[in-house]
Structure 1
């Protein structure tokens, strides 16, 4: 009898184990991969701030909809792309193949965006781009790739019309030698040739890792243009602005416009100080743009967590993650393909407006990126409070 009892007990325990294993498999977390530049030479400032935006999105999602989707927890796995294509490849392959993430968000630089997009396409995993501006990424038309970020043709529209508005005759663009920088100045040059053929356009390319640009500035000073366009990201854009001032070409005297979006990154005024006064800038987060109720909450939460004013990277990191979370909710996180299908149909209020994806003007792009061209009037002024120069309210696009 004792032998029989031992046998039946063992059989019972085995049966229990066989029924609990599938349940354990069902509780595997739903994973969001967050690939961004958290160390040099990438945009570390933007990477770190966007990470906080992603964390706020996940916390708000759990508070509003509960901690689980279809009985599964949600977690974010962060990987450093360093703003480098090779590091981006390693980061994305780890997320997709080793971590088995369900969807990927992030990307600060277009050079890494091309790599992340290609790997997303090859592995049939959804990818929501946060800050990769290059139109060429969208023009690959990968069905897995979506973008809530600004795009170079929108920047080109703003800069081209600003040049026309200012009556510029001699326009010099100084660009970093990256996919973003080269593509951006090429597009602006083409748009000006079409829309303002009388404007003389010249370009100067500077290595992305260069920190001393005085020689290039001295050559510019010999024959100064009407306007200098700076297609660089931080910290290089900071340094270029400060060195212009050092060599007698401050933006308060020589017209300069930030094309690369460095003026609204943390550390701008600490690095440029008085040299930033008078600088024009393509600004993606301005008080004149509509603010959603959710966006106001995100900004307040960021201030609470960091005791600092939010930048566009906070909102971009939030929106990218929020869109992915809502697609997970709509699809139940059942599969990578289900999340991709949910992304195609998504319409959700984010921090900067209602987000949805269309194929015009670019494939699976959120088209309504808010912007202004503003002018910095005093040291410490947030870009969101800069003087709006373009577009006039009646013609805002």
Structure 2
């Protein structure tokens, strides 16, 4: 009897440790100058995924717990956030990221510590081109949208196009990608792009010349709030959208819940990329996520909600198949993923370059 009593505390301690939650780090922007709306949308999707996983018994019988850190949309803050999540919070993986320049800094930390990193909403090809084994991407990538944009411009038969891009890896990268594909697909198009400070409040000096020399299309490549400000000022100056000039947003801003509150009349007749539209086909899982999100918030889900959900869902599936939270085992399992997500079947390409560890067939429409 005495022996049994002596061993009882040790057995009890072992049970507590086995039941410890699996910690997933989530670095996102929740404060300016970052895109707070996108940060909150991604958070909603991630939280819904964690909730549904825990309803099913968690991962490997352990509760899933998300640990959030605010990046403020600043690269150094993002770098520090991931460092803290890995070294102090002891997360087993990262599912997050918004603003490509921030992701560029964060993936360096994940690479150094060999921690799996699933990118929620960073589009720059440069992130993929690093070729880091730890980094996987369920969001769309710049080259895919640039190619679609070039095809769209060619189809309209346009000859004079101006783009405005934010001064980040995402903005400049997408503007350059579009230039490359237009030279290939529609070499007769006179295309030029201007780089704007994403923290600026007044873009009038850059826009006024367009009133004298009107292009056939203006393209906007800026995250909120700068993207909203630019669209409003283009409208207020009578430049676009107008009878003479199309306005094309390739940052999928119209999907965000605060778009119409911030843009209003300036958003009418705007053409835009849609990574989710209510009429787009969803999987059975996607329909469930959409319904639960709508019931909880009283509004439609945006693509960032689905992206956040999918990032954690594919990560959880990899941990389950790996049978542990060992980093290398999870990375290997992620490479072998073939999982039905909210928007299709996720599998990661292994070809070096812009599609490395990328879900290539991300659905979209213009």
Find the partner of 2:177 among 173, 181, 187: 187
> CA separation in 2, counterparts of 1:243 and 1:40?
21
Find the partner of 2:361 among 355, 364, 368: 368
Find the partner of 2:114 among 107, 121, 124: 124
- The superposition leaves residues 154-196 of structure 1 with CA deviations (integer Å, 9 ceiling, x where unpaired) of 0111111111111111111111111111111111111112222
TM-score under structure 1 length normalisation: 0.87
Structure-1 residue corresponding to 2:148: 158
- 8 Å CA contact retained: 1:111, 1:178: yes
Structure-2 residue corresponding to 1:353: 344
Q: Which moved more, 1:294-303 or 1:326-335?
A: 326-335
Structure-1 residue corresponding to 2:315: 324
Question: Cα distance, 1:20 vs. partner?
Answer: 4.0
Larger Rg: 1
Find the partner of 1:267 among 258, 268, 282: 258
2:224 corresponds to 1:234? yes
2:21 corresponds to 1:29? yes
- The superposition leaves residues 337-386 of structure 1 with CA deviations (integer Å, 9 ceiling, x where unpaired) of 2221221111111110111111246111101111111xxxxxxxxxxxxx
Classify the secondary structure of the residue corresponding to 2:360: coil
- The superposition leaves residues 114-143 of structure 1 with CA deviations (integer Å, 9 ceiling, x where unpaired) of 112111111111000011101111111111
Question: Cα distance, 1:33 vs. partner?
Answer: 0.9
Question: Cα distance, 1:314 vs. partner?
Answer: 0.9
Q: Which moved more, 1:232-241 or 1:120-129?
A: 232-241
> CA separation in 2, counterparts of 1:299 and 1:142?
32
Question: Cα distance, 1:19 vs. partner?
Answer: 4.3
2:37 corresponds to 1:42? no
Structure-2 residue corresponding to 1:391: none
Structure-2 residue corresponding to 1:383: none
Classify the secondary structure of the residue corresponding to 1:358: coil
Find the partner of 1:208 among 180, 190, 198: 198
Classify the secondary structure of the residue corresponding to 1:270: helix
**Gapped runs of 5+ residues in structure 1?**
1-7, 374-397
Paired residues in the alignment total: 363
Question: Cα distance, 1:113 vs. partner?
Answer: 1.0
- The superposition leaves residues 257-277 of structure 1 with CA deviations (integer Å, 9 ceiling, x where unpaired) of 002222211211122212211
Question: Cα distance, 1:86 vs. partner?
Answer: 0.5
Structure-1 residue corresponding to 2:298: 307
Classify the secondary structure of the residue corresponding to 1:40: coil
Question: Cα distance, 1:28 vs. partner?
Answer: 2.5
- 8 Å CA contact retained: 1:30, 1:333: no
Question: Cα distance, 1:72 vs. partner?
Answer: 2.6
2:257 corresponds to 1:257? no
Question: CA 1:18 to 1:62, structure 2 compared with 1: closer, same or farther past 3 Å?
Answer: closer
Q: What is the RMSD computed on CA atoms of the aligned residues?
A: 1.8
Classify the secondary structure of the residue corresponding to 1:290: coil
TM-score under structure 2 length normalisation: 0.94
Question: CA 1:86 to 1:17, structure 2 compared with 1: closer, same or farther past 3 Å?
Answer: same
Classify the secondary structure of the residue corresponding to 2:238: coil
Classify the secondary structure of the residue corresponding to 1:372: coil
> CA separation in 1, counterparts of 2:270 and 2:167?
22
Structure-2 residue corresponding to 1:61: 53
2:189 corresponds to 1:196? no
> CA separation in 1, counterparts of 2:198 and 2:158?
27
> CA separation in 2, counterparts of 1:291 and 1:189?
32
Question: Cα distance, 1:102 vs. partner?
Answer: 0.9
> CA separation in 2, counterparts of 1:269 and 1:292?
28
